[in-house]
Chains A and B, each alone.
Chain A
Amino acid sequence: MSDTPQYPIESGCPDGFQYLHPVMKKNFGNWDFHERPRPGVLRHVAKSGDEIWTVRFGTQRQLGPYEINLLCDIADEYADGYVHFTIRSNMEFCVADEAKVEPLIQAIEDAGYPIGGTGNSVTMISHTQGWLHCDIPGTDASGVVKALMDELHEDFTHENMPNRVHITTSCCQINCGGQGDIAINVQHTKPPKINHDLVANACERPSVVARCPVAAIRPAMVNGKPSLEIDEKKCICCGACFPPCPPMQINDAEYSKLAIWVGGKHSNARSKPMFHKLVAAGVPNNPPRWPEAAAIVKTILEAYRKDALDWERTGDWVERIGWPRFFELTELPFTKFHIDNWKGARNSLNASTHIRF
């Protein structure tokens, strides 16, 4: 650190306007329509008649100077020197001249980056840090995503799905990956193991007690030391106590499993936004390629691709065909765990005679 530290300049969020392509600046708020001439390419036409062509591609998200300079070189040589990132970490280069699109695509593909992620494709998986950097991860994030995107590469570069598919991964139940058409999330299956020697020094015990959603944690003296104990029958293994108290080790090489959820949707299009719902659990957390999770994801995607109507997101699709059909088509087992028992659960039950035979 410098000897005389300077007060920070609290400039906050920088203005994005300064980094806009000049055509986007000129036509800001005055766009007319768009179309997708091919997967990975968008053509937006302004009311002025100006056009902007976008080429979207996937990356490894974690970028170093080599990748950044390589991709910026391409953006400078073949595009117009501007870069946009989508919320799902895809990169986009925009050009004003249609003639630049093909050479730009060629240059990006020559560097090995997949063009796609637009429209009714399986776009990049949104994910977090996992074992690479998180302090509470039950699994890796970048690795799961790399393994899955290898499998779904064709679905990224083609628009073969009924509608867009957003897949997410999360390394704990905080669910940083967010809602997904398909979500792959860690689900612990055993209560935390407590290191009683460390609790008194590492944890503020009342906040840990307060953190538990089912009031299963209480203060206790263990071996003469102030610690915490868990009512293991009550514990739902959510891991909420672990971040404020790392001696309550929830992650386990064997019992931290993956669960797969379907039908999360943020958009208001057609139906209201929906949360994803549990479809499979007990899936092994199996690095480096997580084949069991990948197989279930591919099974769900295939059933969705074959059976959903155009424009139906996975959640719309299941609403239309009903859950019995979903389990029939995917051949996933339906268990007592699929029936919710949390607050408000009765709203998730079928209070009608609406049954599909």
Chain B
Amino acid sequence: MADTPKNPERHHTFMPSEKKSTKAFYDTPNLDELEKGPWPSFVTGIKRLAMQEEFGDMMVDLLGQLEHSYNTRLGYWKGGTISVFGYGGGIIPRFTELMGADGEPMFPECKEFHTIRVQPPAGNHYSTDMLRRLSDSWSKWGSGLVAFHGQTGNIMFIGTDNDRVQHFFDDINAYGWDLGGAGPCVRTAMSCIGAARCEQSCANEMKIHRLLVNNFIDDMHRPALPYKFKFKVSGCPNDCMNSIQRADMAVIGTWRDDMKVNQEEVKNFIADKGRKYVIDNVVTRCPTNALSLSDDDELAVDNRNCVRCMHCINVMTKALSVGDDKGVTILIGGKRTLKIGDLMGTILIPFMKLETEEDYEKLTELAEEIIDFWAENGLEHERCGEMIDRIGLVNFLEGIGVDVDPNMIATARQSSYVRMDTWDEEAEKWNQRKAG
């Protein structure tokens, strides 16, 4: 806040009076500007680190290089190859490219400034003891600067040199922490808070998350796939983990029986918000017109046509809730622009029960089939979704042994340019599946 803090030593604007690092601060007028305003400033945070005895000079130079970027509007880091013993990835190496006329780094103290990607606990939960312990380890072996979390989901320990990467890893690896993915490999996954706190959860997100990632731990630590592969797990179709667009394989909780309606609470909600509110914000907003409010304020649901979009449940959190017959929907192939354009994930498995250990085993087997097929058939730097786009969904399904399902399409084929010699066989397969 712009107001004077009550206790300046316990406030995000706090700056220690004693500077223990030896290097003088550079003039950083651009960055100083970002210390103003009410939002907590990362610049103040880095300046505080720059006052420290250990790694302080590194952060003085980091501020120098960042200010230089603000002036020239260019970045000055280049990558390289750094890892820890036994692994091939997980570290984002950074070396300064900013050289003076003498060919020497202009900001030598941060000439090596690597990030270490560490997998957070499923669901991003921590105890304060564990956060402090991680922070202490990082202050011992690195700059102390940590981002919770990067966009893939890793804890990003930002800023250390070549020699200390291994020490930091050894330190935290001994008490239960492992590196995440970087490069063409299975990446760190993400899962929502889900069953731990949310009534809308239809799955055990933490279990699915850990099962999938830890099953592919070799593929994470030793990058050898065509490109990155991401798992994300959301407990319901609100998809708080953004998995449809951001995951190669999205696992999303859902249910297939009727949603639950507590008519007493519907009446309470109407008494509180008014009938018009419910008509305008719930009934008419259902994407498949599956809701209807009767004259006596009873809410009827056409469950056969409900697409489990979550909207009405989001609005009427007490009156409406997900059903009992829970499972997951699996989508495949989401990614952003490069190189062929944006792709949402598409449905691969409309519904899968996840109750018994065998159910969970089927999930990992499916993931193995997908990754094996893509590893064999994907081109270099081609995401799974791009490969599917190139070879067609049906070839992919045949490759991994999954049957076609009308839930996979938004609309049936519109183009007549196709050979259908084996129509009868295919129709027979469908009939047999239906009968079986």
Question: Taking beta carbons and an 8 Å cutoff, which residues of A are in contact with B?
Answer: 1-2, 5-20, 24-25, 28-29, 31-35, 44, 52, 54, 58-70, 72-73, 75-76, 81-87, 89, 91, 94, 109-114, 126-140, 142-143, 146-147, 149-150, 153, 173-179, 207, 210-211, 213, 238, 240, 246, 251-254, 256, 266-271, 273, 275, 285, 287-289, 309-311, 342-344
Contact = CB atoms under 8 A, between A and B. Distances in A.
B373 interface: no
B139 interface: yes
B323 interface: no
B219 to A, nearest CB: 11
Interface stretch (B39-47, B349-357, B360-368, B392-400): B39-47
A100 to B, nearest CB: 15
A157 to B, nearest CB: 9
B177 A14 contact: yes
B69 interface: yes
A85 B206 contact: no
Contacts of B126: 19, 82-85
B384 interface: no
Contact of A311 (B1, B40, B121, B285): B285
Contacts of A309: 280-281
Interface of B: 1, 5-7, 10-14, 30-31, 33-34, 36-46, 48-49, 62, 66, 69-70, 72-79, 84-87, 92, 94, 113, 115, 119-132, 135-136, 138-139, 143-151, 156, 158, 163, 166-167, 169-170, 173-174, 176-179, 188-190, 192-193, 195-199, 201, 204, 206, 209-210, 213-214, 217-218, 220-221, 237-246, 280-281, 285, 287, 307-311, 314-315, 317-318, 321, 336-342, 344, 380-381
A7 B241 CA distance: 33
B129 A60 contact: no
Contacts of A275: 245, 342, 344
B76 to A, nearest CB: 8
A64 B12 CA distance: 11
Given A58-B40, A129-B150, A210-B381, 7 more contacts: A8-B85, A14-B177, A111-B10, A112-B11, A213-B338, A251-B74, A311-B314
A251 B221 CA distance: 31
B176 to A, nearest CB: 6
B381 A289 contact: no
Nearest to A254: B73
A39 to B, nearest CB: 15
A5 B145 CA distance: 26
Contact of B135 (A17, A54, A68, A136): A68
B197 A112 contact: no
The 9 closest A-B pairs by CB, nearest first: A150-B37, A5-B85, A31-B199, A12-B214, A16-B123, A131-B69, A16-B121, A72-B128, A268-B237
Nearest to B317: A33
B146 A62 contact: yes
Contacts of A6: 85, 170
A71 B396 CA distance: 48
A345 to B, nearest CB: 10
B163 A68 contact: no
Contact of A13 (B188, B336, B380): B188
Given A14-B119, A63-B45, A153-B39, A273 B245 contact: yes
Contacts of B11: 110-112
A13 B128 contact: no
Contacts of B242: 87, 178-179, 266
A270 B166 contact: no
Of A211, A251, A269, most buried by chain B (CB within 10 Å of CB) is: A269
Contacts of A85: 120, 124, 126, 148-149
Of B158, B198, B338, most buried by chain A (CB within 10 Å of CB) is: B338
A61 B197 contact: no
Contacts of B14: 66
B30 A16 contact: no
A65 to B, nearest CB: 5
A344 B77 CA distance: 36
A348 B8 CA distance: 54
B328 to A, nearest CB: 14
Given A64-B45, A289-B33, A207 B169 contact: no
Contact of B34 (A24, A109, A146, A175): A146
B177 A8 contact: no
Contacts of A179: 242, 245-246
B42 A61 contact: yes
Given A52-B197, A133-B115, A82 B85 contact: no
13 contacts: A7-B85, A10-B178, A11-B177, A12-B210, A61-B147, A62-B45, A62-B147, A64-B45, A68-B132, A135-B94, A266-B246, A310-B281, A344-B341
